[in-house]
Structure 1
Amino acid sequence: MAPDVWAQGDAYEAYVGRWSRRVAAEFVPWLDVPGGARWVDVGCGTGALTEAVVTMAAPASVVGVDPSDGFLGTARERVAGATFEAGSAAELPVADGAADAVVSGLALNFVPDASAAVTEGVRVAARGAVVAAYVWDYAEGMQLMRHFWAAAADVDPAGADLDEGTRFPLCRPEPLRRLWQAAGLADVTVRPIDVPTAFASFDDYWRPFLGGQGAAPGYLATLPRSRQEAIRHAVRVRLPVAADGSIALTARAWAVRGLRP
């Protein structure tokens, strides 16, 4: 199986980081965390969710944690007013009960042990703190990826095992709800967040897949040029291209939140 690649922040931004920012803009107000809170962003990546917290939640502090030095470098350049530290979701560099809100955007399904990650989030959460996350609806609602993987399956059936829709059954409402409840969190709620993902042209859509960051681009980079071109053609045929060449898609994320008793 081709590895998921998470190293180059700018390439990730072009692929899904920009769409994560739109989800974060709805996610943060939904959490209803009072100003002056201490936040921890687990798997902060290039800082999409961290930036939304800084600009929308009037926090006392925000600590972003991620294992990728490349992503952390991009986050530090893009987001002022937050602290970024290297670390894993299973072992956060945060003291017990030190956070009023523990959040994660588009990271939970890539953690080797999601249950351990949520348990670690509960450890650093104060009593009454919010613990929340969002993940893409890979199986249905993340259209830019669904079109890619459907085309890839036609050209290279062996690549079907890499499809996030198959790999990440966690990224659905009921599995997320059960995970939060199993961690002992109260008042668990799950909701969809839909955002538009508009592309000016097919090249605007396709170019981020050549950046090598993430599951689909990482897989594409392992293929010979001829097979990459075959997938490119198959994707183009599938996409709903308007008369002016633009492509209007949508992306759905599932968001889950609960309270530390």
Structure 2
Amino acid sequence: MDDRRGDVWATGDAYERYMGRWSRPVAERFTAWLGLPDGARWLDVGCGTGALTATVAARCRPRTVVGLDRSAGFVASARAAAPAPAHFVVADAGAPPVRDGAFDAVVSGLALNFLPEPGAAVAAWARLVRPGGLVAAYVWDYAEGMEFLRRFWDTAVALDPSAAPLDEAHRFPFCSPALLRALWTEAGLTEVTVTPIEVPTVFADFADFWQPFLAGQGPAPGYVAALPPPARNHLREALTRAIPTRPNGSIPLTARTWAIKGRR
């Protein structure tokens, strides 16, 4: 996943604990929704630790699937985990180094909002698919549907109003159907469709919820890492009161993405 505005995205294991584990069930439903036939040629841009690339390789019987990301650490994690025929390249997701028309589908999972110029990136992706090919992506609904982040930021901002501009709901606008649809249509894509995909995000206990925020990867963990220890402890205590917990200690939340697809 490409770096944006100083956010750190580099270590595969930390990303898996924070976001990757929730991206995998979304990727399964996303690829089923796309409905591409066997033998298609896929490019996954901003592939991160390879959740979407691995799902394509395992479930979609592709002729080829290439995962591409700027982070060498993420690509190393993806290579170690993804089944054949997946392979990976370290490169810029906004300007992939591949020839026009080379793929049947260009897809992207959770990366769009982290690109410096999302509109230019989608237009570039559209050139990489053959006529009639598919360009598709999914993004977290940061404004409303990504429940564990909403709980985090609502609590953090209540304690520290200066944190509000760091909230992904404010920073990353392309997390609504209308704005996503505009990106796709402005790139010249047709038959544009947007749909929600919601998955459960059940944490085993509060430690399972809290520990990924301590790794410093991504906007919210970056904010936690910058806090002095007393403020960090205060935030942790406030979150223990704000997070719904079952009698067995587990935390039942949900996460919604918006998925979009269109044809060249």
* Counterpart residue identity of residue 33, structure 2: W
Which residue of 126, 138, 141 maps to 1:122?
Answer: 126
Of 10, 15, 28, 1:12 maps to 15
After alignment, is 67-76 or 79-88 more displaced?
Answer: 79-88
Confirm whether residue 63 of structure 1 aligns to residue 66 of structure 2: yes
- 2 CA distance for matches of 1:2 and 1:259? 31
Tell whether the 8 Å contact from 1:2 to 1:218 is kept in structure 2 after alignment: no
Q: Which residue of 2 aligns with 1:47?
A: 50
Deviation string for 1:39-87 (max 9, x for gaps)?
Answer: 0000000000001101111000011110001111100111122111011
Residue type matched to 2:40 in 1? Answer: A
Matched residue, 2:81: 78
Displaced runs of 4 or more, over 6 A: none
The 8 Å contact of residues 99 and 125 in structure 1, kept in 2 or not, is answered as: yes
Alpha-carbon separation, structure 2, partners of 1:199 and 1:83: 31
Percent same amino acid at aligned positions?
56
1:158 and 2:162 correspond: yes
| TM-score, length of structure 1 as denominator length | 0.98
Aligned counterpart, 2:25 = 22
2:100 aligned with 1:96: yes
Q: Counterparts of 1:196-211 in structure 2 under 5 Å? A: 196-211=200-215
The equivalent of 2:220 in structure 1 is 216
Unaligned 5+ residue runs, structure 2? Answer: none
Q: Could you say which residue in structure 2 is the equivalent of 1:38?
A: 41
Distance 2:223 2:73 in 1: 20
Q: 1:238 aligns with which of 235, 238, 242?
A: 242
Q: CA RMSD in A?
A: 1.1
Gaps of 5+ in 1: none
Contact 1:43 1:66 in 2 (8 A): yes
* Alpha-carbon separation, structure 2, partners of 1:165 and 1:235: 19
User: Is the 2:136–2:260 Cα contact (8 Å) retained in structure 1?
Assistant: yes
1:3 Cα deviation from its structure 2 partner: 2.5
2: CA distance, partners of 1:150 / 1:237: 13
Aligned with 1:52: secondary structure?
helix
Distance, in Å, in 1 between the alignment partners of 2:91 and 2:121 is: 12
- Work out whether residues 197 and 251 of structure 1, in 8 Å CA contact, stay in contact via their aligned partners in 2: yes
Distance 1:147 1:2 in 2: 23
Q: Distance in 2 between matches of 1:36 and 1:160?
A: 46
Secondary structure of the 2:248 match is: coil
Q: Which amino acid aligns with 1:48?
A: A
Q: TM-score, structure 2 length as denominator?
A: 0.96
Q: Which amino acid aligns with 1:68?
A: S
1:184 is paired with a residue whose SS is coil
Distance in 1 between the 2:239 and 2:141 partners? 19
Task: Measure the CA separation in 2 of the matches of 1:14 and 1:204.
Answer: 9
Q: Which letter does structure 1 place at the counterpart of 2:76?
A: G
C-alpha distance in structure 2 between counterparts of 1:218 and 1:2, whole Å: 11
In the aligned structure 2, how far is the partner of 1:92 from the partner of 1:2? 20
Counterpart in 2 of 1:137? 141
| Deviation readout 1:92-126 (Å, 9 max, x if unpaired) | 02111000010000000000000011011011111
